[in-house]
């Protein structure tokens, strides 16, 4: 029974984490579909995380490490947002359910076929508890 509980717990953890992917966006995308965070790569390959990003007068504005910043498009090599990857998430949930089902079948069938005295003529079968 502990194995089933552990399997359910593991499947729940994997399913709850879900799968995300990083997608490239433009300033127009940020205006059309606001996001809570944008990862910005500068020309020198440094990366900033902009919280509460918005587009104002053609610039990306938001908070970087708690400080308000305005980033002109000329400083931006690319911008990425984290989006839910629905296909991967569904695959992960399906794999978790399948793993749980296989574990349950294996564990439920393992006691039914276990014979402690198989092949031993002198064996005395253990008494079964009435619990």
Q: Taking the complete model, does pTM exceed 0.85, yes or no?
A: no
Distances (CA, A) of 14 to 22, 89, 102: 19, 9, 17
Could you read off the pLDDT tens digit of each residue along the chain, which spans 131 residues?
566 666 666 666 665 556 777 888 988 888 888 788 999 998 888 899 999 999 999 899 999 999 999 999 888 889 998 887 777 667 777 777 888 788 777 777 655 555 666 666 667 666 555 55
Q: What is the pLDDT of residue 20?
A: 77
Residues with Cβ within 8 Å of residue 21, at least 6 apart in sequence:
82, 83, 85, 88
CA–CA separation, 42 vs 101, rounded Å?
A: 48
Q: What is the pLDDT of residue 45?
A: 87
Domain 20-84: top CATH class: mainly beta
């Amino acid at each position: 029974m502990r194995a089933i509980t552990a399997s359910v717990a593991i499947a729940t953890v994997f399913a709850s984490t879900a799968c995300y992917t990083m997608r490239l966006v433009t300033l127009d995308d940020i205006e059309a579909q606001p996001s809570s965070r944008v990862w910005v790569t500068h020309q020198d390959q440094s990366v900033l995380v902009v919280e509460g990003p918005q587009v104002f007068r053609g610039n990306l504005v938001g908070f970087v490490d708690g400080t308000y910043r305005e980033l002109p498009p000329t400083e931006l090599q690319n911008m990425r947002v984290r989006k839910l990857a629905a296909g991967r998430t569904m695959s992960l949930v399906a794999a978790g359910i399948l793993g749980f089902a296989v574990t349950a079948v294996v564990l439920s069938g393992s006691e039914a076929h276990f014979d402690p005295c198989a092949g031993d003529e002198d064996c005395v079968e253990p008494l079964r508890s009435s619990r």
